[in-house]
Structure 1
């Protein structure tokens, strides 16, 4: 009996120890969650997304939060579903806040609202939802306005060159992506503002989608150049795929400097097309500031501080001749650690 009693007593002590340890782990996990932010960009590589991620990392570190970055490759077949899953994951973990670049305006509403229902603030960036009430705030460029500025500048330069008619091509990563939709809308609006009634003399061809694959945009644009001898201007709406694809097509078809090319966002890639005219000008966003402001405002919302529904980041128009000096200025921003995926504060899912 005595032996049996000792066994029971030992068992009870072990069980008590297990329960105590379990509760301790739970408390620790909850504590970590309250100082954790989820950052979900469309991708985290490239001249636009790298400095944005760096800005987010810097802000999180300064404000005492752990930043968890979740993303997937551009060509991910189930990219939209995967990114919505990241929001759900963050919500289940009850993190302090979520920042997300929605790939579509409508499909991301439900998981974002579900996070809001648990009092987790959600800030959108790069692209916004249709209804501002469905998120806490938006940080970034007004893509319609940015497109409008590019469309105006392009039209003004085309008029100066005496271009009065012709076909125009637009190349993007994904025609369903909110940023691409808004930029195209802005370009056409700005173009029409400058040309007025003469705008009807121009034809915008069906938008080329390349899923960020340069070979695809090159092939499709080469087809457009062959089929439309009056092609005068091309707009590439951001990301390396369209940028490289368009410049490659202009080179292969002997149209460098003959067909104008306007782009979005600075990348060193543009410098390869300056001398032979494969890039005419760009509008650029301050990606580092977008990332920094996203996290800074997310923490304000967590702390119960009232923030603006929209925190705008301006764009700058840069002509090809100024791209090198402009790039040098941008590179002064410390982005050297952005490519270090082993940072303790970041968990990138590729």
Structure 2
């Protein structure tokens, strides 16, 4: 009996040891379980009309080039979002990823960890927003958010001037007002608006910006309050994402201000189509997020192979008036379907 017990314990020990070794190899190796080199893709979120095509393009291009893409992100309302995403960066470094792509929400907080990856020979591409020290990353890919904001502000001002509006209150709504992309967009919108309005710019008052953490009910509630308190409101700029887009349109509708409060937004989403015929959206600027996702992987691939890459790959935005939004959406869908085959 004693010999049988010893034999049984020995078998358990051997099996357990083998299982432990297997786990260690999977979590610490430089390659995935498939044997492919790994690229970490860390967007702010991975859903919505802007982020989903970008993620899809990155997945398609990574597959075509023979990489495994690991996507890491967190919900919009994550309370420790910066810390969590820095943790994803740390995970990529510890797992010796072949490359990292990240959308840093704060240029200072992400700077040190990006430098750490760079110092360990891991190329890091930033997108959507950049880190503070440009030398710490390989490339930035995406929109110049201040210039994009200027373009939206300029076109918004032109639309108001064409309607003879030269004074009034203006609101803004965003997911997160401290996020780098949002601060740049705010600055750009005001600069572009004032540039076009000229001397009349002083007749407008910018209200306290709204933050809704991508919760449409919250932006709706806050904007309804601002509309009630400011009967001379003439425009709202929403800075991107489904929460503010939907919340702003619902607030304008609920207050009976469709056609008298003009709404200008960021990035195409089918949501806009619901507001075209009811005058709840006036025009948008749109980024080509699919092109951003593809360029991210192509750039990392070149760097991993030792080829020369540029420090910045700018992706411009397009201005689309409300009457063109539906047709533009069809073209976007056609392009996306073609490119993802």
Per the normalisation by structure 2, the TM-score is: 0.90
The answer on 1:110 being equivalent to 2:112 is yes
Q: Using the alignment, how far apart are the partners of 1:195 and 1:336 within structure 2?
A: 41
CA contact (8 A) 1:59 1:296 kept: yes
Greater displacement, 329-338 / 295-304: 329-338
Aligned to 1:98: 100
The answer on 1:327 being equivalent to 2:329 is yes
CA-to-aligned-CA distance 1:133-161 (integer Å, 9 cap, x gap): 22111000111111101111111111111
Q: Using the alignment, how far apart are the partners of 2:36 and 2:136 within structure 1?
A: 22
Instruction: Report the CA distance between 1:308 and its aligned residue.
Output: 1.1
The answer on 1:298 being equivalent to 2:300 is yes
RMSD between superposed Cα atoms in Å: 2.6
Aligned to 1:317: 319
Aligned to 2:56: 54
Q: Using the alignment, how far apart are the partners of 1:194 and 1:27 within structure 2?
A: 55
CA-to-aligned-CA distance 1:32-87 (integer Å, 9 cap, x gap): 48710000001111111110001101110111100000011101111111111000
The answer on 1:41 being equivalent to 2:43 is yes
Q: Which runs of 4+ in 1 moved over 2 A?
A: 24-34, 333-338
- Greater RCO structure (CA 8 Å; 6+ sep): 1
Aligned to 2:124: 122
CA contact (8 A) 1:51 1:335 kept: no
Q: Using the alignment, how far apart are the partners of 1:114 and 1:303 within structure 2?
A: 20
CA contact (8 A) 2:36 2:68 kept: no
CA contact (8 A) 1:144 1:182 kept: yes
| Change over 3 Å in CA distance of 1:183–1:26 after alignment to 2 | closer
Aligned to 1:30: 30
Q: Using the alignment, how far apart are the partners of 1:137 and 1:70 within structure 2?
A: 20
Query: How is 1:51-200 mapped onto 2 (pairs within 5 angstroms)?
Result: 51-200=53-202
Instruction: Report the CA distance between 1:27 and its aligned residue.
Output: 12
CA contact (8 A) 1:148 1:187 kept: yes
CA contact (8 A) 1:50 1:335 kept: no
Q: Using the alignment, how far apart are the partners of 2:118 and 2:306 within structure 1?
A: 14
| Change over 3 Å in CA distance of 1:37–1:208 after alignment to 2 | same
| Change over 3 Å in CA distance of 1:143–1:28 after alignment to 2 | closer
Q: Using the alignment, how far apart are the partners of 2:60 and 2:339 within structure 1?
A: 10
Which of 208, 212, 225 lines up with 2:210 in the alignment? Answer: 208
Instruction: Report the CA distance between 1:335 and its aligned residue.
Output: 5.6
CA-to-aligned-CA distance 1:289-308 (integer Å, 9 cap, x gap): 11010111011111121211
The unaligned stretches of length 5 or more in structure 1 are 1-6, 339-350
Greater displacement, 102-111 / 270-279: 102-111
Instruction: Report the CA distance between 1:131 and its aligned residue.
Output: 2.5
CA contact (8 A) 2:235 2:261 kept: yes
Q: Paired residues, what number?
A: 327
Per the normalisation by structure 1, the TM-score is: 0.88
Three-state SS of the structure 2 residue aligned to 1:254 is coil
Aligned to 1:282: 284
CA contact (8 A) 1:34 1:95 kept: no
Aligned to 1:343: none
Which of 229, 232, 237 lines up with 1:230 in the alignment? Answer: 232
Q: Using the alignment, how far apart are the partners of 1:141 and 1:121 within structure 2?
A: 20
Q: Using the alignment, how far apart are the partners of 2:27 and 2:328 within structure 1?
A: 49
Q: Using the alignment, how far apart are the partners of 1:70 and 1:289 within structure 2?
A: 20
Instruction: Report the CA distance between 1:26 and its aligned residue.
Output: 7.8
CA contact (8 A) 1:173 1:239 kept: yes
The unaligned stretches of length 5 or more in structure 2 are 1-6
CA contact (8 A) 2:30 2:38 kept: no
